[in-house]
């Protein structure tokens, strides 16, 4: 097979820490380039759903995640190439600080990703109450790992012209790194935050207007042409071939997999949905907020999101919850992550009120003020379940504020041994009932390549059993 080369311009926007302004700068750049007529492929380093949702809205195309913990290097290079092939440029937003990773060596950091994809880095620096010290920060980042190409700096939260002038002079003199933008303190940018970060665009009352205002604020403060030239300096790399890119034999009759997609359930990696379709599934979008009964499907995928902020609406839709329980009792395969697990519990307490949920698992949840699980996880499968064989080790991430406030231990079976992370309770996760598997873990299809195939196989088996029996059958 002839080697393919990736030659697209690409850039990474990183920072000194979380809260540096990376997302604002990234969205500003996406807005500027898109409005100039360029096709921009957005990416996010790390396991993030909300930033990617804003990227997607701004760029007019899906944003994809690049994560060196969840994926192998070959998967990342393939993904970058595949999802930017039809674009003019790729923009990658980093996470946390440039060198922040899982350990003192910065393993799985944005810097590690930058070296892997051979992309120049633009540092976004919050300049609040600082001048020449900014040069020290930039110089430190430049010298810590000379394999990282720091090609420019965007100053953020600049108080006035004098501060900008002093910082610009000191950074360029002491480091040789050019200043590619200076974003002033902007009052009233309409990007609200809550417990998991930015308010998702699906729930933002004026998301398009927010991006319009951001574009106007960024247009005169970012040197987009200089950043473009920096991105264009990226060297080519050989695109590896990976398993998920190979053709898959599919059945003539596609099983229907329902996907909960509304403002309550928005956390899905595009690659996961694409993998299900590639293995032959027909995806059917379902809303637990609007639909009165569950439509006929052969399996369900319930992702994460914010069921707690929609708890009253979900609770009021009693007919839908009842129909879901009936189908589960008849053996419907269901795979649920995080918010999906909460929805399948008995109740959720949020804002001082308790709301009934689907009642599949005898578990009560409450949403606190601090994260209960936050970070990468490693789970080992040690019990029977519909989707993963015993011994399977899953790598994923968890990020939630949900606490298990009570459950009937004798009625809850778990099949995941938590090797890293918090999980459901007492070092366990992966709740199983009938053909349902639910956990706090979010997985990525490029990292867990068998998941989509097994999910579609379960749906196909259920479809076949139902057709043979003339009705929905027993658990598989």
Residue 158: which CATH number?
Answer: 3.40.50.300
474 is a domain residue: no
Residue 117 and residue 44 in one domain: yes
Residue 154 and residue 90 in one domain: yes
> What pLDDT is stored for residue 342 in this prediction?
98
Task: Spot the catalytic one: 127, 338, 441, 465.
Answer: 338
Contacts of residue 468, Cβ cutoff 8 Å, sequence gap at least 6: none
Strand partners, 403: 366
- Residue by residue, pLDDT tens for the chain (476 residues) are 556 788 899 999 999 999 899 999 999 999 999 999 999 999 999 998 989 999 999 999 999 999 999 999 999 999 999 999 999 999 999 999 999 999 999 999 999 999 999 999 999 999 999 999 999 999 999 999 999 999 999 999 999 999 999 999 999 999 999 999 999 998 766 665 544 457 788 777 688 888 998 898 899 999 999 999 999 999 999 998 876 655 566 666 799 999 999 999 999 999 999 999 999 999 999 999 999 999 999 999 999 999 999 999 999 999 999 999 999 999 999 999 999 999 999 999 999 999 999 999 999 999 988 878 889 999 999 999 999 999 999 999 999 899 999 888 889 999 999 999 999 999 999 999 999 999 999 999 999 999 999 999 999 999 988 776 665 544 44
Residue 216 and residue 262 in one domain: no
Q: If you search the block for the tokens 């601090």, which residue do you land on?
A: 370
Residue 446 and residue 421 in one domain: yes
244 is a domain residue: no
CA distance 191 to 174: 35
Contacts of residue 78, Cβ cutoff 8 Å, sequence gap at least 6: 239, 240, 241, 242, 244, 245
Rg (CA), the chain: 23
Residue 197 and residue 274 in one domain: no
Residue 234 and residue 302 in one domain: no
Residue 332 and residue 365 in one domain: yes
User: How many distinct structural domains can be found in the chain?
Assistant: 2
> What pLDDT is stored for residue 474 in this prediction?
44
- Of 239, 268, 297, the one marking the end of a domain is 239
CA distance 330 to 355: 25
Residue 216 and residue 305 in one domain: no
Q: Are strands 179-184 and 150-158 parallel, antiparallel or unpaired?
A: parallel
246 is a domain residue: no
Nearest to 91 by CA among 129, 63, 115, 126: 63
> What pLDDT is stored for residue 475 in this prediction?
44
Expressed as residue numbers, the domain containing 93 is: 4-239
CA distance 32 to 34: 6
Contact status, residue 34 vs residue 85, Cβ threshold 8 Å: no
Write the Ramachandran bin of 195: left for phi over 0, alpha for psi from -120 to 50, otherwise beta: alpha
Q: What is the pTM of this model?
A: 0.92
- Of 239, 271, 300, the one marking the end of a domain is 239
Q: Which helix (DSSP H) or strand (DSSP E) does residue 376 occupy?
A: strand 373-381
DSSP 8-state secondary structure symbol assigned to residue 410: G
Q: Which token pair is 459?
A: 């749906």
Residue 369 and residue 444 in one domain: yes
Q: What is the CATH number of the domain that holds 290?
A: 3.40.50.880
Give me the chain's average pLDDT, please.
93
Contact status, residue 194 vs residue 306, Cβ threshold 8 Å: no
Contact status, residue 361 vs residue 340, Cβ threshold 8 Å: no
245 is a domain residue: no
Q: Are strands 197-198 and 193-194 parallel, antiparallel or unpaired?
A: antiparallel
Beta-carbon count within 10 A of 408 CB: 11
Residue 203 and residue 344 in one domain: no
Residue 385 and residue 306 in one domain: yes
Residue 77 and residue 162 in one domain: yes
For the stretch 126-170, pLDDT in tens is: 999 999 999 999 999 999 999 999 999 999 999 999 999 999 999
Residue 465 annotated as catalytic: no
475 is a domain residue: no
- Of 190, 213, 239, the one marking the end of a domain is 239
Where helices occur in 185-317 by DSSP H, the ranges are 207-219, 224-232, 270-278, 311-316
In the chain, what's the furthest Cα-to-Cα distance? 78
């Amino acid at each position: 097979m002839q080697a393919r080369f990736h030659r697209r311009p690409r850039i990474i926007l990183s920072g000194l820490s979380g809260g540096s302004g990376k997302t604002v700068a990234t969205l500003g750049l996406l807005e500027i380039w898109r409005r100039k007529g360029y096709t921009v492929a957005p990416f996010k380093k790390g396991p993030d759903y909300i930033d990617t949702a804003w990227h997607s809205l701004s760029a007019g195309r899906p944003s994809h995640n690049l994560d060196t913990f969840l994926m192998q290097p070959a998967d990342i290079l393939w993904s970058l190439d595949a999802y930017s092939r039809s674009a003019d440029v790729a923009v990658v937003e980093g996470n946390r600080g440039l060198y922040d990773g899982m350990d003192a060596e910065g393993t799985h950091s944005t810097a590690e990703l930058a070296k892997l994809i051979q992309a120049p880095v633009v540092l976004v620096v919050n300049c609040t109450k600082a001048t020449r010290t900014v040069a020290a920060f930039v110089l430190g980042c430049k010298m810590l790992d000379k394999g990282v190409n720091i090609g420019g700096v965007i100053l953020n939260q600049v108080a006035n012209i004098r501060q900008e002038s002093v910082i610009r002079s000191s950074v360029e003199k002491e480091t040789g790194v050019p200043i590619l933008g200076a974003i002033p303190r902007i009052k009233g940018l309409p990007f609200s935050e809550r417990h998991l970060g930015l308010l998702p665009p699906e729930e933002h009352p004026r998301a398009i207007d927010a991006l319009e205002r951001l574009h106007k604020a960024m247009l005169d403060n970012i040197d987009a042409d200089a950043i473009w030239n920096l991105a264009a300096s990226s060297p080519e790399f050989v695109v590896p071939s990976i398993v998920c890119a190979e053709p898959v034999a599919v059945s003539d009759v596609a099983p229907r997999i329902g996907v909960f997609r509304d403002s309550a359930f928005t956390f899905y990696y595009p690659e996961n949905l694409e993998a299900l379709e590639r293995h032959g599934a027909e995806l059917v979008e379902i809303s637990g907020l609007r639909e009165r009964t569950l439509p006929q499907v052969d399996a369900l995928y319930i992702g994460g999101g914010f069921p707690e902020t929609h708890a009253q609406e979900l609770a009021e839709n009693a007919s839908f919850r009842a129909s879901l329980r009936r189908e589960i009792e008849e053996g419907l395969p269901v795979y649920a992550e995080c918010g999906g697990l909460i929805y399948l519990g008995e109740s959720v307490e949020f804002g001082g009120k308790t709301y009934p949920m689907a009642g599949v698992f005898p578990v009560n949840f409450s949403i606190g003020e601090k994260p209960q699980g936050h970070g990468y996880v490693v789970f080992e499968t040690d019990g029977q379940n519909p989707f993963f064989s015993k011994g399977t080790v899953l790598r994923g991430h968890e990020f939630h504020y949900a606490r298990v406030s009570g459950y009937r231990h004798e009625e809850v079976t778990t099949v995941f041994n938590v090797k890293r992370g918090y999980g459901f309770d007492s070092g366990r996760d992966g709740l199983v009932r009938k053909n349902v598997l639910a956990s706090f873990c979010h997985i990525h299809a490029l990292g867990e390549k068998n998941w989509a195939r097994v999910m579609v196989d379960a749906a196909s088996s259920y479809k076949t059993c139902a057709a043979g029996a003339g009705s929905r059958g027993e658990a598989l």
